Chain A
């Protein structure tokens, strides 16, 4: 006759790893990201861009030592504004846009759209939660690696460009751009965290990489149009905050100390932009966390 035994849970009491439970999640996310051809391509393109600018500064400095003054005078002659061709905070604000729109956003989609989605679809998430990994730990590990990738492809190259700029410039140039690294770091960390959370939240809902990309494409492009259109039809700039890309611009400008009334004219108000971006990040976090908790046996 069969014998049935009462189920009993025996907690593991063997040696434990020194690392926290989310550490392997972080490691596997990094390895998974690097396996993706498009992630490697985009990251490499971004590093090449930074390297190109570094070489450009160095060579120009060797060939035309006074190029910064010449460029400034040329800008003043051609546009009447001596800051037009100046390597200052404005230059870095423009460069940041270059690194955000064609690099950070595509990288986030290439890297993140299948990350949580595939775990949910393949039921791998249950396997994770069967180990001592909490939904929060899982999300933290994934997001940390994700944000790390985004910053490695944006902030790191920008800091490299800044470093090569100040080392090749006369000493008084440093005062002009001293606040740039901190401004860039604040802006890009915020953007990277929010984008990483947003991509994962959408992927959690759609559970499909292509659908996630479509949704975010619509979000970035359609809301850009809607925000601007509403701002024009109502005469209220507040509606521009609906455009994530305009929010990024105004936050970047504020962090780099560039938010003068003239520059703010076509941009959403800073507090609304912050509110929209933070709100989006919080909502994304809650959505993902809720979806993960529902799949967790331990939660």
Chain B
């Protein structure tokens, strides 16, 4: 399998993502954390923005932006092609199906990473402008890296759901919002089964965020370490891609 195959398919996938209304929707979502910081600055009484960024913007990105932006960007990547039957053009070429899927995934991930970067950096840049000093960029970079890793893992799962079901959106809501964001923020050991638990571990280490959502979600006493979190998220991405590939080998392309 040649790298040019991945390159052209990733390019196609990225162009398609950037040109669609869903990308604008995802960008609008990514603007909301920044809007939150601006509104807090405008309407809050003597508030320091940096703690607000860490306590409110970071969890907003983590628990709301990541699942919804991932769903908007990644669900249609292959799902749309299956629904229309256009995936048949890829599957009737002398290229293995997994390579086609990987190319499409990489391109869409690039679009998702851009959206998440906007969500993480836009409020930080605003904060840096009105409240110079502080660790704005370090925290923003840490947040972006964590979100991007989350996007890789959840994106691969969305890819699988897109191939698996015509009602992928419902399954994605369950997987990303309930199993991911909601279960990951519950107290007790159950949350360690959710990918969000590991995202929170990364945010805890890279952004120094102690308590998620200022008490809305219970804090974690012993968050998972960086290495473990990264490995779990990468493994989830690999599992998602593997499942997608295995399913694509067996699943009929709709007429």
Contact = CB atoms under 8 A, between A and B. Distances in A.
B213 A233 contact: no
A89 B59 CA distance: 36
B192 interface: no
Interface string B63-87: 1100010011000000000000000
Contacts of B32: 222, 226
Contact of B29 (A222, A232, A239): A222
Nearest to B26: A218
A235 B214 CA distance: 13
B168 to A, nearest CB: 8
B196 to A, nearest CB: 14
Interface stretch (B44-52, B100-108, B144-152): B44-52
B130 interface: no
Contacts of B183: none
Nearest to A214: B169
Contacts of B22: 211
B68 A225 contact: no
A215 interface: yes
A232 B36 CA distance: 11
A232 B169 contact: no
B178 to A, nearest CB: 11
Contacts of B60: 225-226, 229
Interface string A195-221: 000000000001000110111011001
Contacts of B214: 232
Given A213-B169, A230-B39, A233-B36, A225 B72 contact: no
B235 interface: no
B173 interface: yes
Interface residues of A, number: 21
Interface string B18-37: 00011001000100100110
Interface string A41-63: 00000000000000000000000
Interface residues of B, number: 29
A221 B63 CA distance: 11
Given A226-B60, A229-B60, A232-B214, A221 B177 contact: yes
A215 B25 contact: yes
Contacts of B177: 221
Contacts of A215: 25
Given A206-B21, A226-B36, A236-B43, A214 B64 contact: no
Given A222-B29, A228-B216, A229-B60, A217 B47 contact: no
B56 interface: yes
Contacts of A235: 44-45
A298 to B, nearest CB: 29
A234 interface: yes
Contact of A221 (B25, B36, B55, B64): B64
Chain B CB within 10 Å, residue with most, of A206, A221, A233, A239: A233
Contacts of B36: 226, 229-230, 233
Contact of B40 (A210, A221, A228, A234): A234
Interface in A167-221: 206, 210-211, 213-215, 217-218, 221
A233 B72 contact: no
Nearest to A206: B21
A257 B60 CA distance: 34
B144 to A, nearest CB: 19
Contacts of B72: 214
A225 B57 CA distance: 11
A146 B47 CA distance: 46
A225 B39 contact: no
A69 B18 CA distance: 64
Contacts of B55: 233
B47 A234 contact: yes
Nearest to B39: A230
A217 B35 CA distance: 20
A295 B31 CA distance: 32
Nearest to B40: A233
Contacts of B71: 214
Contacts of A236: 43-44
A210 B169 contact: yes
A233 B44 contact: yes
B125 to A, nearest CB: 18
A215 B169 CA distance: 11
Contacts of B21: 206, 211
Contact of B39 (A206, A221, A239): A239
Interface in A91-135: none
Interchain residue pairs A-B with the least CB separation, the first 10: A234-B44, A233-B40, A234-B43, A233-B56, A225-B64, A222-B64, A229-B56, A233-B52, A218-B68, A234-B40
Given A214-B68, A233-B40, A235-B45, 20 more contacts: A214-B169, A215-B25, A217-B68, A221-B68, A222-B29, A222-B64, A225-B63, A226-B36, A229-B59, A229-B60, A230-B36, A232-B56, A232-B214, A233-B47, A233-B55, A233-B56, A234-B40, A235-B44, A236-B43, A239-B43
5 contacts: A214-B72, A218-B25, A230-B40, A235-B44, A239-B43
